[in-house]
Amino acid sequence: MCGILLYFYSGILITVVSPFLATSTAPTVFPLVPCGTESGDMVTLGCLATGFNPPAVTFSWNKGSTALTDFIQYPAVQKGDVYTGVSQLAILISNFSYNPQKFTFIVTTSDSNVCLVFLTFLLTALPSSSPFIQVEIPSFKTVITSNTDMQATCLVHTYFDATITWLIDGKAVTKTATREKNATHIISNLSVSSTQWENMKNVTCKAEHKCFTSAEKTINNAVGVYVQGPLPQLTESKEHVTITCLLVGPNLSDFSITWRVGGSKIPESYGVLTNLSVSHNNGTETRQSFLKVLAVDWDAHTNISCEGKHPCSNHGNEDHISKSRGNIRNVTNLSKLHVPLVVTVFLWFSSFCSDILTLVCLVSEYFPANIIVHWEEDGRTLASSHYVNSPPWKYSGSSSYSMSSRLNISKTEATRSTYSCVVKQESSKAPVKDNITDVFGTASFTD
């Protein structure tokens, strides 16, 4: 018979199997709790042999059928009429595989009774979580004003000897990067010419090792500018609409944002609110600016542009938008526009015990994606808490969007009410709706 003990250490499953002692005079052997170095790159197995006499015993370790020599055997210590001894074996965690590895501790007494007592450790490497990666790149000002090579730094938090790969715009870099490793992390530095750096879009640092899922971190080098028009409104009564400009990139604090309406520059004091840049965990920053535009200018399809520019650069990045028959951006073929088609489908639960019915409104064949969908009961607008709208989706190969809205109604609340699914899009002058009346009168309930 055997006794089995389980230990976990730093992603290592350790199973200890010990047979009963061969004789009553043999030493008793206990496994010691596995421990490791501060760096976490090694695990130490230990065994305690106690209750033996005479003290002339020999400890040995085997890995599978191979005898190991790199272990420690401490001198036996006497307590009363018996002795106690300890042996330790240090193993590199990075040498583990996901197949169990067998380590055996053997006690040999002075009369050469080999394997009088032994313990078996089964070590299995468990998959480790992906390491945390940080990537730092030079500021935009440094890139513009310096003629020397640019340097990107990758910091990988891991005690494994991982392979570090750099990619520029998705292609692996063949140039050798510098590398430093200590007990807790790896630092890799990549040098890139200033000309190549100015033309590249992103840089990626990738870490790979057999003991964890590969991980990577990508930093966008270029600054992206994105302009978003106002959401469709349920009424046309507003005097102003708000246009949003979003800058995305590294080190945006020095960037200026310039608005133009119809080609004319808008001063900061004229309805412009620009927020400070916000840093994110992925290494990028975002900065938002908001411009209030007269609704008459927006309805007249006036072109509105936003430019992000660094003071050290001769040119900036720009995006623009106009109402253009329904808040369309970058569409030249206006025949592709679609007016929403609304189809209402009513579903019912197949049980007499339920008095809840779900109405489904399917909106399809519309463009662009921004629409507003709400429900009405007998002409009265229902609160948004009564229904759930899905995000828009595109079918494969389609240029138009679809979405759905679900409304739950109770039999106790209405009997012959008319429910309407109402869709508002800027390309349509009036809302498009579809109605269903006397829902419970037409629904059949079956067991």
Q: Which two tokens stand for residue 377?
A: 């009961």
Higher pLDDT, 233 or 91: 91
Q: What b/e string do you get for 157-191 counting C-beta neighbours within 10 Å, with b at 16 or more?
A: ebbbebebbbbbeeeeeeeebeeebeeebbebebe
**pLDDT range class, residue 333, cuts 50, 70, 90:** very low
Q: What is the CATH number of domain 132-220?
A: 2.60.40.10
Closest CA to 190 of 201, 200, 208, 204: 204
The CATH 2.60.40.10 domain(s) of the chain lie at 2-125, 132-220, 225-323, 336-442
**pLDDT range class, residue 305, cuts 50, 70, 90:** very high
pLDDT in tens, 388-404: 888 888 877 777 788 88
**pLDDT range class, residue 306, cuts 50, 70, 90:** very high
- Strands laid side by side in the 401-410 sheet: 341-348, 356-366, 401-410, 387-389
Has residue 24 got a pLDDT over 70?
no
pLDDT in tens, 254-292: 888 999 999 899 887 787 888 888 887 766 788 899 998
Distance between CA atoms of 162 and 182, rounded to whole angstroms? Answer: 12
Q: How far is CA 384 from CA 364, 376, 389, 418, in A?
A: 21, 10, 9, 18
Pick the CATH number of 336-442 from 2.60.40.10, 3.20.20.70, 1.10.260.40, 2.60.40.1180: 2.60.40.10
Has residue 156 got a pLDDT over 90?
yes
pLDDT of residue 121: 60
The domain defined by 225-323 folds into Immunoglobulin-like (2.60.40)
pLDDT of residue 324: 54
Has residue 16 got a pLDDT over 70?
no
CATH 2.60.40.10 is held by the domain 2-125: yes
Higher pLDDT, 312 or 300: 300
pLDDT of residue 6: 43
